[in-house]
A and B are shown apart, each in its own frame.
Chain A
Amino acid sequence: MSDTLITMIAILLAAILMFIFPLLSISERSDDISQLSVQTAVTEFVDNSRSIGKITMDNYDKLLATIQATGNSYDVEMEVKVLDENVGKKSAWIQGTVIGENVYYSVFTTQIIDTITKSPNGVYVMKEGDIFSVSIKNTNKTMSQTIRGVFYSIAGGDVYSIAAQHSGVVTANGSN
């Protein structure tokens, strides 16, 4: 009887050792590779956009194509912090109701995509001094997350294993 129990435990352990752990390890490596490719793609996208001063449909599509090639689905969040040019440079303001003191206001993904799709050339224009940032997270459960979930689960729905972000100051005034 005890022999049978030990054998069963041994088989279970063997199964975990022989299949689950390698699978977990390999799927985690796979996530690492996805992470790598997503990070590279997002950096290239942000740096390219900020050096030419515009977000183009072409570049955005290229970014999506690159990250989707990893086999996961992602949530791409873009944010442009628009520099308010209305700076109180001179002391001669007469009225007290002057708006704008070198502040930034933000424009987010949906507004940006909306502008790009409506623009005839498929671009979102930024200007020198604006700040552009992109953050990408996976929305599906990757295989490593699923396997890990068998052993332990992390509370909360907003769990991701692939995340990449990059941001930078825009270096040129874009044009349509």
Chain B
Amino acid sequence: MKLQSFCIVFALIIIPILLVLTYYIQLQVDTVTLQTEYDTKLLDATYDAMSSFEINTANEDLSSVSDALRTIIEASNNVFFNTLSTNLGMSNASKSYVEPYVPSILYALYDGYYIYAPTKVPEILTNDKGVALAVGDYQNSSNPDEEKYKVVFKEDGYYKLIKDLPTDDVPMVYNDDIGTDYGQILYTAKDDSGKTKMDGSDILYTPDPDKALLKTKNVLKTYMPYSARYKDKENGKYDINVTYTLDNYITIEGCLYPPTDRTIYVTKSGYLINTSNVKIRRKKDDDTAIIDNYSESGIQKYIEDGGEIYVEIDSLEIVHISGLNKKAIDDELVFLKNQIEDAQIIKNQIKDAQQINDKYSEIAEKINLKFHTSAESNGDSIISVCNSLITDRQYKLSQISSAVYYCKAYLFTNWVIDNFGRGGAYVVHENNIQEISGIPLEFENNDAANNNSIISTNGIFDFSKSEDVCVFDLKGSSQTQDRKIGVTEIDEDSAFYTHKLNVIRNSMQYNLNLAMTAYSENATIDYAMPIISDSEWEDILSNPTIVAFMQGFNCGLKTYNNYVIVSSTNNEISVSPNNIYYVKKDLFNDENSEYHKINCEHILDQLNSNPDNIGNMTDFISFTSKEIKYDKIFNKSKSNSYYWYDHKNLACYYCINDGNYDGIAGGIFNKTNGSDYDYPSLVRAYYMSLAKERNDLYKPNAVTNNIETEVVYDNNTDHADVNRSSYKALKDIDYIEIVFKDIKINTLEVATVPISVDENIGTFNTNSLNANDSRNQTRILNINSNIGSNTKVNCEYLKKEISINGVEVKNFKDNNNNPINPIKYIKVFYKK
């Protein structure tokens, strides 16, 4: 063969190979490009969803209440699908087309999470206008535009919808069968093969959800809190449910059984802090034990009513206030704000300086000016005086808030540690966990020799050593001196912190898996939850986050499958110490000065001149980044209170805009000489601000009143023993709820009779009872907070101490002069 022939043969062989290779590689390139495009579209859609969530929480009043929150999440979800479908080149109304490609979306919030996923739901019978129809509904009229229908009973519990009614049809008469179901919503019924149940050509409906035909629909599932249930298996001393949050706030609800025949109900929420370095007194030299006598709501009331309180952290005075009444200050702020607005209006009307002077008295009178001096005789001065007063009042409010935070957290933490901590009466070990957000855990006794149960259902918890792991061990191995977050925060390597993260992660993982399995049943391909890496979990568990999963799009040589995580740092539902900004009190809202992060070197310029010692400390006002970003004007946790930040300070170019700065050498907690802080003002500002922001945060699932109760006497149940005493003594009781019944003193011609108790014991909230009333009458007996009595309360004791109409209850007689016990029920509320 000639060389030319070789060439042709070679070319004939090589060219097709090259063509195929080129085509294949081009396909690969297209696949990856497409995948990258989808990734970006998914990220953009999720980012938009998060932005809508942030903006809606910032601007909607009461957005943190769970119902409003749900609406906001639904809105955010719509934004997600709008953006995604627009990015994919479809109309933004293509939600239903895109939905099948989204297995689920996780909204991890402050104290729980939502999952948006396909779920099987029954199909509800509706009329033309989409209004749900119920058993017994009937509509007939001569108007040809109006729909005519009636729901009629067939048999075996099924219903039919008859649409073509003659005009002379009369409303149906309900037979007995319909009568029992009357008013119930109807669902499309299913037959034995799982399809729509028909009667000829008519569809049958049923009020019984079990017989309903289920269809898959994407819904926002119910809110799942980050909670776990713990039960004492060995001694049966407690059965409690703990709800965790992204930070150190927890809620404990459940029953304690000090001896097994007693039940104390507890419902408490609070912040856990490291109390070892926190000292709280009423006065600087007061006895710390006095604070321990207060309940959490008691101490809050004491502080907000103007009581004196002294909070010291790590030997540094953080707050020392007295005589600051919160309500009075709130009112004053509203008044001052109104004055500024009035002054602005007048100032705009009067241009000439001379005129201002002439009209000064008029202005002063008009705006009800109480503090003017001759130096302030122009419009600007009035405004600046008002502004400086507002700043001052706002600082006082921060002081109150932070004092309340530390006092409540101190009392709550001590209560938790004393009861559930190591050495406590109801110590909670990790392996006492029963359920995590409704998921029952199964244990296997793999280690029978050591009596250790090892969990079999998932790989997150290792219970082999959890006999030793106490859930409420707050201390880790961190060296508090070197910490950036302050000594009151819980160590990140503590048992509590690790356990909390495990609980949250486990619950999310389980429910996401469940949602995706349900999705997979209807998907064309098998779909399983992708494995989320540890570092990604860390992102999810540190801030409110949206995780969106997407799969199934044709993506060249393969099918698209990925997820994105978007965290939020500017929202209404959580506080992060990194996102709090500070400005010196005197420079607040001054357009020539800057606000900073706490450890910015340039914040040192704002400290009072030398030396920055305890006696010459600088006051700082703080606010969170969201107030800048969303231009906040309204504080929803205090309905009548504005955010007073007018956004006039400039952002520091080193710490706020850039974020990459060296920071103060050694950090703000540095102690060069070993005992005193180098920058006490900054340390104080940090502790105060964190406390204020946390205390003012609206918590949707929090318990408003922390209570610990016990039913001592109930004459309708087996607690009808008059000698059965309360578990704790009078000194530990906050108040007692007493129900009286059968108060019949109709020999008297009065409507009410007085009820009284020894002043040393306490006072009733209402000092009288209806004189002639056989119904239950509930009265609250507030126990004197200074009582030191070790007496335990029982029915006999109260019968002796309480007098009705001047007569001791033990001698109480009815109309027929028969002795009766008018006390029917006693419930005691313990302080802690």
Contacts and interface: CB of A to CB of B under 8 A. Distances in A.
Interface of A: 7, 10-11, 13-14, 17-18, 22, 25-26, 29, 32-33, 35-36, 39-40, 43-44, 47, 51-53, 82-87, 89-90, 92-95, 98-100, 107, 115, 119, 124-129, 166, 168-169, 171-175
A32 B647 contact: no
B4 A10 contact: yes
B787 to A, nearest CB: 49
B567 interface: yes
Nearest to A43: B36
Contacts, number: 126
Contacts of B625: 173
Nearest to A30: B25
B651 interface: yes
B650 A86 contact: yes
Given A90-B647, A92-B646, A35 B659 contact: no
23 contacts: A10-B7, A18-B7, A22-B14, A36-B28, A36-B32, A44-B39, A51-B564, A51-B566, A52-B539, A82-B657, A82-B658, A83-B657, A86-B657, A89-B631, A95-B592, A99-B650, A126-B659, A128-B570, A128-B629, A171-B47, A171-B50, A171-B566, A173-B579
B567 A52 contact: yes
Interface string B13-56: 01000100110011011001101100110011001001000000
Contacts of A115: 660
**10 closest pairs, A vs B, by CB?**
A85-B651, A125-B659, A173-B569, A175-B578, A14-B7, A172-B567, A43-B36, A115-B660, A86-B650, A171-B47
B25 A29 contact: yes
Contacts of B7: 10, 13-14, 17-18
Interface of B: 3-4, 6-7, 10-11, 14, 18, 21-22, 25-26, 28-29, 32-33, 35-36, 39-40, 43-44, 47, 50, 539, 543, 564-570, 576, 578-579, 591-592, 625, 628-629, 631, 646-648, 650-651, 656-660
A174 B35 CA distance: 27
A25 B22 contact: yes
Contacts of B3: 7, 10-11, 14
A39 B32 contact: yes
Contact of A95 (B39, B47, B564, B591): B591
A29 B40 CA distance: 26
Most buried by B among A14, A51, A90, A115: A51
B484 to A, nearest CB: 8
B543 A172 contact: yes
Contact of A51 (B6, B11, B565, B648): B565
Q: What is the predominant secondary structure among interface residues of chain A facing chain B? A: mixed
A22 B32 contact: no
B7 to A, nearest CB: 4
Nearest to A14: B7
Nearest to B592: A95
A168 B570 contact: no
Contacts of A100: 650-651
B43 A51 contact: yes
A165 to B, nearest CB: 12
Q: What is the predominant secondary structure among interface residues of chain B facing chain A? A: helix
B567 A51 contact: yes
A35 B569 contact: no
A26 B566 CA distance: 41
Contacts of B578: 173, 175
A33 B31 CA distance: 12
A43 B40 contact: yes
A114 B350 CA distance: 56
B717 to A, nearest CB: 55
Given A29-B22, A92-B646, A169-B47, A53 B569 contact: yes
Contacts of B11: 17
A112 to B, nearest CB: 9
A36 B557 CA distance: 14
A168 B569 contact: no
A172 B39 CA distance: 18
Nearest to A47: B43
Contact of A119 (B32, B539, B564, B660): B660
A90 B565 CA distance: 34
Given A84-B657, A95-B592, A119-B660, A32 B570 contact: no
Nearest to B625: A173
Nearest to A33: B25
A10 B625 CA distance: 75
Given A40-B36, A86-B651, A128-B569, A32 B660 contact: no
A172 B659 contact: no
A43 B543 contact: no
Contacts of A129: 629
A44 B660 CA distance: 23
B237 to A, nearest CB: 42
Contacts of B657: 82-86, 127
Contacts of A125: 658-660
A84 B652 CA distance: 10
Nearest to A127: B659
A95 B648 CA distance: 11
A47 B569 CA distance: 17
Nearest to A174: B659
Nearest to B568: A172
Contact of B18 (A22, A39, A126): A22
Most buried by A among B14, B18, B570, B591: B591
A171 B567 CA distance: 7
A95 B593 CA distance: 12
B26 A32 contact: yes
B50 A18 contact: no
Given A18-B10, A40-B36, A51-B564, 17 more contacts: A10-B3, A14-B7, A17-B10, A22-B14, A26-B18, A29-B21, A39-B33, A44-B39, A47-B39, A51-B43, A82-B657, A90-B647, A100-B651, A107-B658, A127-B656, A172-B543, A173-B659
Contact of A172 (B40, B566, B646): B566
B386 to A, nearest CB: 13
Contacts of B567: 51-53, 171-172
B647 A168 contact: no
A5 to B, nearest CB: 14
A56 to B, nearest CB: 10
A124 B576 CA distance: 19
A174 B570 CA distance: 12
A175 B35 CA distance: 30
Contact of B43 (A53, A89, A168): A168
A129 to B, nearest CB: 8
A100 B10 CA distance: 68
A3 to B, nearest CB: 12
A127 B32 CA distance: 29
A32 B321 CA distance: 71
B109 to A, nearest CB: 15
